[in-house]
């Protein structure tokens, strides 16, 4: 590298830029997505007593990511686990979060048979999604920096 001409250096810079513009961005985004899924599962497990699901509920608090642009992913709960994530974040039948309706009453004050919903009490939210996103926001730049360092080392060491 010390006796490299300016043209050779320019060629190396070009290969470096091509590498970053190619599959590298998608691969790095995949690594961030996998790490984000791991963090979300660990956070949910810590909040819910060792595994990422509520006892008695079938769905787990699962997440997924999809590529929306080169090097950009959208990270969110799976369709089936959106409800459990909402309950873990805000609680059940509370005033926070989306409106959840309790039992429907008739004019006389009785529970309507036609529109009855089993009232399953009230729980406090644990802020699980907020905790998970905070941990992901801390960790994602480290993953990207590690991958950039690998590419820089490949071309400039």
Render pLDDT for 26-67 as a digit per residue (tens, 0 to 9): 899 999 999 999 999 999 999 998 889 998 888 999 999 999
pLDDT for the residue 155: 82
Domain contains 132 = yes
Helix (H, G, I), strand (E, B) or coil at 46: helix
How many other CB atoms are there within 10 angstroms of residue 59's CB atom? 17
Region 113-130 average pLDDT: 75
Dist. CA 109–CA 107, nearest whole Å:
5
Region 64-80 average pLDDT: 93
Non-local (6+) Cβ contacts of 84 within 8 A are 53, 54, 57, 59, 60, 61
Parent domain of 44: 21-96+121-156
Domain contains 92 = yes
With cut-offs at 50, 70 and 90, classify the pLDDT of residue 151: confident
Asked if residue 103 has pLDDT above 80, the reply is: no
pLDDT for the residue 24: 87
Non-local (6+) Cβ contacts of 18 within 8 A are none
pLDDT for the residue 111: 65
Which uninterrupted H or E stretch holds 66? strand 63-69
Domain contains 62 = yes
Q: Which residue has the higher pLDDT, 93 or 123?
A: 123
Helix (H, G, I), strand (E, B) or coil at 73: strand
Integer-rounded Cα radius of gyration of the chain:
24
How many other CB atoms are there within 10 angstroms of residue 22's CB atom? 11
Dist. CA 24–CA 21, nearest whole Å:
7
Asked if residue 113 has pLDDT above 80, the reply is: no
Domain contains 65 = yes
Beta bridge partners of 66: 74
pLDDT for the residue 95: 66
pLDDT for the residue 144: 92
pLDDT for the residue 102: 60
Domain contains 143 = yes
Domain contains 49 = yes
Identify the CA nearest to 37 among candidates 136, 130, 144: 136
pLDDT for the residue 66: 95
| 85: exposed, middle or buried (Cβ count in 10 Å: 0-12, 13-18, 19+) | buried
Domain contains 127 = yes
What value does the mean pLDDT of the chain take? 85
Domain contains 125 = yes
How many domains is the chain partitioned into structurally?
1
pLDDT for the residue 118: 60
With cut-offs at 50, 70 and 90, classify the pLDDT of residue 75: very high
């Amino acid at each position: 590298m010390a006796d490299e001409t300016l043209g050779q250096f320019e060629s190396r810079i070009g290969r470096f830029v091509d590498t970053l513009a190619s599959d590298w961005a998608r691969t790095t985004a995949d690594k961030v997505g996998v790490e984000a899924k791991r963090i979300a599962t660990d956070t949910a497990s810590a909040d819910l007593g060792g595994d990422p699901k509520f006892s008695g509920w079938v769905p787990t608090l699962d997440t997924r990511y999809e590529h929306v642009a080169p090097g950009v992913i959208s990270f969110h709960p799976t369709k089936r686990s959106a409800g459990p994530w909402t309950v873990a974040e805000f609680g059940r039948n509370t005033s926070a979060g989306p409106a959840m309706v309790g039992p429907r009453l008739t004019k006389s004050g009785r529970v309507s048979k036609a529109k009855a919903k089993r009232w399953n009490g009230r729980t406090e939210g644990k802020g699980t999604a907020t905790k998970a996103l905070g941990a992901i926001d801390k960790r994602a730049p480290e993953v990207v920096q590690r991958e950039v360092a690998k590419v820089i080392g490949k071309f400039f060491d």
